[in-house]
Structure 1
């Protein structure tokens, strides 16, 4: 969480008007919160029969003042304030944000703060799973959908559904005459089952989108349907690509003009996200390479390196599968004459970006194979060292074993048995037979 923007943390560089505005707003919010705590504490200490009534009245007045202040701020400023405040105060402010602005504010937050608010907010403030977006002045505007009536009254170009319930699927079926596919049925690999056009003109695309979160990468299946000039998207969980698309379309006028534009921009954002993740793979392999090329690698370090390489290989494979699926989807749209001339150029640009990523993923696969072979080679070297020790020991101990076997034979005609110095002589002979091979091995460098 970012530190509070107080006097002690004020930057030395020149503050822009926008930064100064959010700083002033943060101070006002902090002052209102501090005033609320002081007044409520004072009222609570008073011994009055109407203390509870007065306390509730004061609390409502302060909440109203905070709510009025938040209404005057943009979503980005509210998000900045939420990140700057301590968690308990941040949760209080979040509860005062108007429900229709909740999604917009969440898109501006960092992942850590967003997850904290989503995990602790009451059920009525949970992120909705049915998001409808209309086009207003060249920008996407989210329409609050709380009922079937609200959905029927909207004129969306994009309806985004996250793990839709049976009731929400029923709304879509009744209002738009569309049966949404089940996300469990989106895993078919053959192209005819992933990209097709129904007899009534519905365009279906089943695509994989990359999700790399908390060190765990996976491909999330998303179903797209273009129907009545509206894009419907169905998935089981939130994806950074969709959040980025909503944010860009709200801010930049003319960013999208119809559902097909939204679809292409989602594919473009997915390729961009894959490229960013690929940069992380490069960084991870660079760190692994430094370990592999060090002077000596122990077995424990080699095991850790192999685990790191396996993770990067898995992520690189998912990226390659992801962009391959995106290429197939774009090729289907272009072959089916489903794109306008300007959209064709956008699709070709996305395909060029995918071609550039293909070269990187192929290079990374080769680098992973090299690092894997080098690491396995170090493991073999360590094992050979152990085997060499046993080999040297067995060869060096063979002569004394032979001497002990000779003098261990029980025959009458063995003069050494009656010799008083026979036992010390045999011990000395065995010691010399051990020392001579070790001296030869050391001279030849076999003991290193």
Structure 2
């Protein structure tokens, strides 16, 4: 799907069914979402540039992701998408500055694009050129990345309260709660890892964008690019801090699981020690020797039961006195 946008955000559909002979002069942004080969060919003919394919966007070599070809500037960044789901991922997005237009090529729907489209009409002066569009779009992407981190912090705080919440006699921790929370910790770790990869990609792209002559010639875009670079650096530090908190939460959860398992093992150990003396008494009086004085006692049976109870109670209270129970 191909959509063109004017300076104030008006959308213009472009289709291979009725390919235009030329592009309207007021179109400053062309957004290609999952383009087919026919759509790529049509845009290559209209723009006079080569549209990168999905395989081209996935190339991890920095020299292949940021380069200039004739009068066009090609850039690729990895953006987080599906951040609200349990399976967040990264998608490679191509940004192309061609003349006064910006061309984006993507195969997913990062939320930042929808937010930017909805706010284009509110940008002072409108997006009259591809350079302004690019810097404003990168600003929205940085804001969306900050929002993802803020949402992750809130969820991790809630998870921390759930893991370290006070456990009383009337409100015990449900069985297997910590094991289930480990899966949540793994999900948050995946999201933050993807976000850090995206931030690193954006940092490289912004460093390259700042050197583009068209950006240097536009003072507002140059200053905005510098501001976004500082924001990305602070987001990188914040993501590192969140990653450290996740690591602590993971270690603490594993430690609590070990504590609970040790408590269970301790109970079984104490139970075996408490039941050992009664077993000894029962085994003595269960022997079938001919000469056993107690066999003639009329109170032998109650005496044996009393001896077993006393031999079990004494170790129990001893453990309570020691604080082992």
TM over 0.5, shorter chain: yes
2:36 matched to 1:178?
Answer: no
Partner of 1:232: 103
Of 14, 24, 31, 1:154 maps to: 24
Partner of 1:54: none
Q: Please list, as runs of the form range in 1=range in 2, the aligned pairs for 1:199-218 lying within 5 A after superposition.
A: 200-212=70-82, 214-216=84-86, 217-218=88-89
Q: Deviations over 1:174-219 (max 9, x none)?
A: 2223332222443333322322233x34422121222246534332
2:224 matched to 1:346?
Answer: yes
Q: Please list, as runs of the form range in 1=range in 2, the aligned pairs for 1:254-333 lying within 5 A after superposition.
A: 254-296=125-167, 297-333=173-209
Partner of 1:192: 63
Query: What is the alpha-carbon distance in structure 1 between the residues aligned to residue 278 and residue 305 of structure 2?
Result: 9
CA contact (8 A) 1:226 1:259 kept: yes
3-state SS, counterpart of residue 215 of structure 2: coil
Query: What is the alpha-carbon distance in structure 1 between the residues aligned to residue 191 and residue 84 of structure 2?
Result: 13
Offset at residue 412 of structure 1 (A): 4.6
3-state SS, counterpart of residue 20 of structure 2: helix
Query: What is the alpha-carbon distance in structure 2 between the residues aligned to residue 151 and residue 131 of structure 1?
Result: 16
Query: What is the alpha-carbon distance in structure 1 between the residues aligned to residue 312 and residue 245 of structure 2?
Result: 47
Query: What is the alpha-carbon distance in structure 2 between the residues aligned to residue 416 and residue 281 of structure 1?
Result: 73
Offset at residue 329 of structure 1 (A): 0.5
Hey, which of these two has a bigger chunk of helix by percent?
A: 1
Partner of 1:143: 12
Partner of 2:170: none
Structure 2 residue runs without a partner (length 5+): 168-172
Q: Please list, as runs of the form range in 1=range in 2, the aligned pairs for 1:27-426 lying within 5 A after superposition.
A: 129-135=1-7, 139-147=8-16, 149-150=19-20, 152-155=22-25, 156-198=27-69, 200-212=70-82, 214-216=84-86, 217-296=88-167, 297-335=173-211, 337=213, 339-341=215-217, 342=219, 343-417=221-295, 419-426=297-304
3-state SS, counterpart of residue 339 of structure 1: helix
Q: Deviations over 1:21-77 (max 9, x none)?
A: xxxxxxxxxxxxxxxxxxxxxxxxxxxxxxxxxxxxxxxxxxxxxxxxxxxxxxxxx
CA contact (8 A) 1:145 1:151 kept: no
3-state SS, counterpart of residue 324 of structure 2: coil
CA contact (8 A) 1:183 1:222 kept: no
Length-normalised TM-score, structure 2: 0.85
Distance change >3 Å, CA 381–CA 298, structure 1 → 2: farther
Partner of 2:306: 428
The count of corresponding residues between Structure 1 and Structure 2 is 315
Query: What is the alpha-carbon distance in structure 1 between the residues aligned to residue 259 and residue 174 of structure 2?
Result: 10
Distance change >3 Å, CA 149–CA 429, structure 1 → 2: closer
CA contact (8 A) 2:80 2:194 kept: yes
CA contact (8 A) 1:299 1:379 kept: no
Whose relative contact order is higher, 1 or 2, with alpha carbons under 8 Å and at least 6 apart? 2
Q: Deviations over 1:280-330 (max 9, x none)?
A: 122212222322332113334323433333333322222222221111111
Offset at residue 265 of structure 1 (A): 1.6
Offset at residue 249 of structure 1 (A): 2.9
3-state SS, counterpart of residue 215 of structure 1: coil
Query: What is the alpha-carbon distance in structure 2 between the residues aligned to residue 272 and residue 350 of structure 1?
Result: 9
CA contact (8 A) 2:83 2:148 kept: no
Query: What is the alpha-carbon distance in structure 2 between the residues aligned to residue 387 and residue 371 of structure 1?
Result: 24
Distance change >3 Å, CA 196–CA 288, structure 1 → 2: same
Query: What is the alpha-carbon distance in structure 2 between the residues aligned to residue 346 and residue 207 of structure 1?
Result: 18
Q: Deviations over 1:116-147 (max 9, x none)?
A: xxxxxxxxxxxxx2112344xxx454334245
